[in-house]
Structure 1
Amino acid sequence: MRYPKIIISIAAVASFALVAAVQAATSGVTASEIKFGETMPYSGPASAFAGAGRVHAAYFKMLNDKGGIDGRKLDLISLDDAYSPPKTLEQTRKMVEREGVAFIFGSLGTTPNRAIAKYLNKRGVPQLLIGTTATGFADPKSQPWTLGSMPTGEIEAQIYAKYILQTKPNAKIGVLYANDDVGATYLAALKEGLGDKAKNLIVAEASYELTDASVDSQIIALKAKGADVLFDTAHPKFVVQAIRKVSDLEWKPLHIVVNTSSSIGMTLQPAGLDRSTGIVSAQYLKDPSDPQWADDPAMKQWLDFMKQYDPQGNTKDYMMVLATTQAQLLEHILKTAGTDLSRENIMRQALSIKDLQMPLLLPGVTINTSTADYHPIEQMQMMRFDGTKWQLFGDVLSR
């Protein structure tokens, strides 16, 4: 499958200079095209997220129909990695060494991106706007060519910690988390955000494996520990199960669900809207399944785009809004790069964004980057589900 291609790089100034000395021209860039690549789980355990790759392809096709960027067409190569890190590395090496892409863009998943970060950084290939909430990628010193696109799990968990301390200072917190790097990040960041109170406020922790059939036993165990706050960092499938089990047990905790599992269409509807009432989360994007955005001009424009260019895409899944925002941000970076489409300048522009507002971000949320700050989005707003839609409340928060 061939699509407009994007390569993601993040480098410190010294690294830029070093790579510039050995590169006479940018691979993947000609007078007529910009070639870049990504990997997506079109098969395998994370295939539910594969729609992001199709949205990327659709957006760059739309741009090409309008003449591309400064007359150059965007040629995206999007390859299946089945969410398998060894396959991710194999496909990425193919795109860099055989296809000659300029950068990697939007590849999805923590472990797949970790599998290629060292390889890309060693070669000075931008690893741009990757799809992961893991904290370890925002590291200018060790991974200067790698840039994320989402609030990290660390930022999000610390925002929830701040909210808990403000609203339930005597909370008894039970934590449900995946036994992987992402789950560990959420748990560690929550503890950091709670500070010295963490050891007293967190009364139970329960992990699960991605291969588990259900998390019912974990929910039962957390309730038995007397938790009155459920910090639920699980993947959407397991959040659906958790919501149902909490309801079945007639347990009434403050149920906090992480952003990536907060979609009305993908999570709350399958769990049951009545069972989901009262759940709290945080957001930075407009959710297309939320009625409050029905008359929003940017949302209407997005739905028109999806209807024309990705008619089979799930317009109820806000992760498709994220994919569109990633593509729009790449468009911004390439346009600001102007005629200098070297990997160094593409990375330089990616790290020079100031108070950028994007049409599908929540009002008040802006994008900022610098050579010292590899967190494009550090703001979120709390929201509570009322049985029909998410109700935003309070101010836009940062950690």
Structure 2
Amino acid sequence: MRKTIPLRVATAMIAALLTATACSSRRGQDAQDTAADGACKGQQTTGITGKTVKLGGIYPLSGPASAYGTISKGVAAYFKYVNDKGGIDGRKVEFVVRDDGYQPPKAVEEARRLVEREKVFAVFQTLGTPSTAAVRDYLNQQKVPQPFVATGASVWGADDKHPWTIGWQPNYVAEARVYAKYLKEAKPKARVAVLYQNDDFGKDLLGGFEKALAGSGVKVVAAESYEVTDPSVSAQMASLARSRADVLLDVTTPKFGSQALAADARNPKWNPLHIVNSVASSAAVLQPVGFKNVQGVVSATYFKDPADPQWADDPEVKTYKKALHAYAPDADPADQFNAYGWAVASSLHQALAAMKCPTREGLRDAVRDLKDEKVGMLLPGVTLSTGPGDAFPIETMQLMRFKGERWQLFGKPVDTRKEFGPLTK
């Protein structure tokens, strides 16, 4: 005969069992928390709390490269959108933007302001090779993360003396490899003229292009450089036209990209295939020249063009357009620079969420340990990957050709790691 336990006794027994289980679970969690706290102990927590994370960004809101300034609007819109969704791991993002006018000394001044006055957690997105190079020594000495800088110079992924600095977009050598591969297949005997900015940006892409052409029938027959302080590149374009090259490789920032495209359009005696590097491929560069004058121009990209009808129903593009209208109503959703800002901010979101420690050291390590991370605004087949000996997050691009009033993708994505091998120091 089964003995019945009184209700009050049963209740007491259940309560005791639940308490014991809860205490055991809590002790296990406490042990895990203690271990995590121990691993993170002594690391920098300036600019981050359990509820907030403060980021700084340095952009040319004025000056010769001011067309890039709108990138900050795409970044800010993303963070505001995320904040309204609860933040990143419960932390609301405060994004502080400073203007350096594309002047390296000013960039250093603004970096100091962000670190010493604003007390930011990281300086996310310094824009341009000259400005990024100018501030990286200071930020690395201060042990402040400088993640996903807005420049494709190969040094950001090949310099182990500055572990706090890392790029994001395909480096200029990888981009150059894509153009070289295309010409070797489409125009195997091409004669190429090159216009390039006389700094690490221009020299990096030109050097990578020449190296990728080695042993082929494609030759660089003329090259002209310009300074970022030059008023125009008309003289350089006139000189390059005299080479009668079949191809013009245009390695410029937006202002000079527009000038080069316009000069090409005005010269009826020279009609080369015009390849414009990705940093000067925005509609903001092409539109002033007139779309009818840039038909057939070739470039490369790695993120979705919000003006391309094929992405009209893409969930990420739809979210981006809606958020940009809400949080940056003066910004054009069709401008690729705004989409770039959204994509890179989304990438940082993933790195922040992946931190093993909510510290500056945690972010430094997270951006160097990305495993085929998917980002909604990147093209299919393009992911973020880094690891030991590889600090280049994106090395896949796809060619595009301007037709009508927009860019159209063609060919297949080119994974330059597989095609040419990893880029090394």
TM-score by length of 2: 0.84
What is the aligned-residue RMSD (CA, Å)?
Answer: 2.0
Does the 8 Å contact 1:207/1:218 carry over to 2? yes
* Cα displacement (A) at 1:197: 4.5
- Percent identical residues: 42
Structure 2 CA distance, aligned partners of 1:141 and 1:271?
42
Structure 2 CA distance, aligned partners of 1:24 and 1:249?
59
Q: Which has the larger radius of gyration?
A: 2
Partner SS for 2:126: coil
Distance 1:116 1:292, change over 3 A: same
Residue matched to 1:209: 227
The equivalences for 1:46-61 within 5 A come to 46-61=65-80
* Cα displacement (A) at 1:177: 0.8
Residue matched to 2:136: 117
* Cα displacement (A) at 1:205: 0.6
Residue matched to 2:16: none
Stretches of structure 2 lacking an aligned partner (at least 5 in a row): 1-38, 417-425
Task: Pick the aligned partner of 1:278 from 266, 291, 296.
Answer: 296
Does the 8 Å contact 1:172/1:201 carry over to 2? yes
* Cα displacement (A) at 1:155: 0.9
Does the 8 Å contact 2:308/2:408 carry over to 1? no
Structure 1 CA distance, aligned partners of 2:293 and 2:194?
19
The equivalences for 1:312-391 within 5 A come to 312-337=330-355, 340-391=357-408
Structure 1 CA distance, aligned partners of 2:362 and 2:226?
43
- Number of residue-to-residue matches in the alignment: 377
Structure 2 CA distance, aligned partners of 1:392 and 1:55?
23
Does the 8 Å contact 1:278/1:387 carry over to 2? no
Partner SS for 1:371: coil
Residue matched to 1:262: 281
* Cα displacement (A) at 1:69: 2.1
Does the 8 Å contact 2:79/2:93 carry over to 1? yes
Structure 2 CA distance, aligned partners of 1:99 and 1:361?
31
Residue matched to 1:161: 180
Residue matched to 1:137: 156
Does the 8 Å contact 2:67/2:284 carry over to 1? no
Distance 1:216 1:291, change over 3 A: farther
Structure 2 CA distance, aligned partners of 1:21 and 1:388?
52
TM-score by length of 1: 0.89
Does the 8 Å contact 2:48/2:358 carry over to 1? yes
Structure 2 CA distance, aligned partners of 1:24 and 1:283?
38
* Cα displacement (A) at 1:210: 2.4
Query: Does residue 415 of structure 2 align to residue 398 of structure 1?
Result: yes
* Cα displacement (A) at 1:212: 2.8
The equivalences for 1:21-36 within 5 A come to 23-36=42-55
Structure 1 CA distance, aligned partners of 2:315 and 2:41?
47
Residue matched to 1:172: 191
Task: Pick the aligned partner of 2:214 from 187, 195, 205.
Answer: 195
Query: Could you list the per-position Cα deviations for residues 254-308 of structure 1 after superposition, in whole angstroms to 9, with x for gaps in the alignment?
Result: 2111111112x21222212222111111111112233433333322221101011
Does the 8 Å contact 1:259/1:282 carry over to 2? yes
Amino acid at match of 1:50: G
Query: Does residue 77 of structure 2 align to residue 63 of structure 1?
Result: no
Residue matched to 2:247: 229
Amino acid at match of 1:184: K
